[in-house]
């Protein structure tokens, strides 16, 4: 079996180095998971719609994408706090988050979708609430979801850069 270079890189770190390295590798896993979710969405969205269940399949896939946006946003907020506590949060990250704030605020309104997508509560939901939620999800525009996703990914990569730079400073100061 091939050695896992990323895991070895994290293991070889000490103290805060290891912490920053795990942030970098962890973010890559988030991005890989996101890419898989987007691929699934695209496979459903762009397939032939001659299946009478196609509209509900799109709602289900949109729900997972929307719920992922909310989860990633919550994680990025916690990550930002960790970087700040370790004096590793750059002004570039602060400025980027501020510029993205109008987009990020839209994600906060998607709470119910998160609960259904990750807790699979659909069968237990009040029928009228469920129908209303499905109709709302159905109305989400692809471009708007993509804008939200790009904003989160951009912010995550900026924070990844903060972690890489902090790890580099530690490594150079403690050879």
Q: Does residue 59 lie in a domain region? A: yes
Give the pLDDT mean for 49-78. Answer: 85
Q: Which residues contact 109 (CB under 8 A, 6 or more apart)?
A: none
Give the pLDDT score at 116: 64
Residue 35 has pLDDT above 70, yes or no: yes
Q: DSSP string spanning 63-86?
A: HHHHHHHHHHHHHHHHHHHHHHHT
Number of domains in the chain: 1
Domain span holding position 111: 14-165
Number of H helices, E strands in the chain: 7, 0
Residues 6+ apart with CB under 8 A from 139: none
Residue 78 confidence (pLDDT) above 80: yes
Residue 54 pLDDT level (bands cut at 50, 70, 90): confident
- 96 within domain boundaries: yes
Higher pLDDT, 171 or 120: 171
Residue 4 belongs to some domain of the structure: no
| pLDDT tens string 109-121 | 776 676 666 667 7
Q: What is the mean pLDDT of the chain?
A: 87
In a domain, 27, yes or no: yes
Burial of 125 (0-12, 13-18, 19+ CB in 10 A): middle
- Does residue 105 lie within any of the structural domains? yes
Burial label for 110, CB within 10 Å (0-12, 13-18, 19+), is buried
Per-residue pLDDT, 90: 97
Give the number of other Cβ atoms within 10 Å of residue 19's Cβ: 18
Q: 120 by DSSP, 3-state: which?
A: coil
**172 within a domain of the structure (yes/no):** no
């Amino acid at each position: 079996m091939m050695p896992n270079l990323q895991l070895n890189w994290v293991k070889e770190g000490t103290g805060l180095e290891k912490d920053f390295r795990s942030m970098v590798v962890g973010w890559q896993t988030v991005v890989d998971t996101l890419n898989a979710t987007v691929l699934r969405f695209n496979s459903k969205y762009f397939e032939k719609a001659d299946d009478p269940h196609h509209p509900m399949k799109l709602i289900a896939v949109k729900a997972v994408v929307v719920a992922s946006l909310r989860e990633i946003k919550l994680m990025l907020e916690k990550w930002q706090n960790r970087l700040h506590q370790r004096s590793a949060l750059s002004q570039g990250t602060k400025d980027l988050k501020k510029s993205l704030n109008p987009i990020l605020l839209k994600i906060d309104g998607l709470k119910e979708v998160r609960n259904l997508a990750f807790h699979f509560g659909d069968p237990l939901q009040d029928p009228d609430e469920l129908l209303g939620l499905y109709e709302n999800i159905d109305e989400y525009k692809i471009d708007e979801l993509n804008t939200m996703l790009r904003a989160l990914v951009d912010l995550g990569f900026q924070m990844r850069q903060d972690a890489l730079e902090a790890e580099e400073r530690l490594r150079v100061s403690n050879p």
